[in-house]
Amino acid sequence: MLVLRLLNVVAPAYFLCISLVTFVLQIFVFIPSMFRDPSTTPLFSPALLHGALFLFLSANALGNYVLVIQSSPEDLGKDLNLGKGAEVADWLDGSRSPGSALPSTHFCRLCARVTQRHDHHCFFTGNCIGSRNMRNFIMFCLYTSLACLDSLVAGMAYISATLSMSFADPLAFLTLLPHSISQFFSGALLSSEMFVILMLYLWLGIGLACAGFCCHQMLLILRGQTRYQVRKGMVVRARPWRENLQEVFGKKWLLGLLIPVQNVESSCRRHKEK
């Protein structure tokens, strides 16, 4: 438990550090050196267009990241009778209290609260993912993967121009790291260039992980399930996939796709149901 609590503090700081390094490399290294075209007008220059794209992806990723933290799942333990020792033990065991009729509720030891439609605990946000912040979490994963892909492409273009190498061969990227390590220790490669090469593999790993996580989460939403329900083997009521999507994303889903906003519509609907 101590290791998990430590990870719950270190992981968000690690993500913010990676985000800051990515922003500095893109704005001050990649864009000024790789996207200069004097023949185009300043309004439609490649540097300006790529910078606007990167800022759009970054703003959505960080904006939804903040909303995931702010839109914490409600602590249902305040409204439930959890004073008896047997019921508290049921919550601590991760099972549902016999005296409650709320589906897929779960007590998280790290958050110390009971949440409805609990999906999982995200260490990179230091928060539980539930009904209130599921949409922002999916948008966070989506835009983080796109921002990493954008940084990966820009970084490869920078390394290709700096080291005069080509990535036309698919094996070139796989052999880049071991070849760069040998060059670095032999003194033929600068530390800044080696740092960018390491960041390429980090962006690739984070981007693939977030994309896979987003696709898996969307599949569960279409089925009307949460990860906690799948892990516990809970049977859910079959509903049309459109209703499952609307429950998470709301009717104004396009607005949340373009800008980071809280799903106010779903929150109001849940309060009315109470």
128 is catalytic: no
pLDDT tier at 199 (50, 70, 90 boundaries)?
very high
- Give the pLDDT band (50/70/90) at residue 77: low
Range 222-226 average pLDDT = 90
Q: Is the pLDDT of residue 154 over 60?
A: yes
- On average, the pLDDT of the chain sits at 81
Query: Which residues are CB-contacts of 171 (< 8 A; sequence separation ≥ 6)?
Result: none
| Mean pLDDT value across residues 56-73 | 90
Residues 6+ apart with CB under 8 A from 182: none
Answer yes or no: is pLDDT of 23 > 70.
yes
**In this predicted structure, what is the pLDDT of residue 84?**
42
Q: Are 137 and 158 in contact (CB under 8 A)?
A: no
Distances (CA, A) of 39 to 31, 36, 49, 105, 200: 16, 9, 15, 60, 30
pLDDT at 85 over 50: no
CA distance 55 to 61: 10
Catalytic residue, from 17, 108, 111, 122: name it. 122
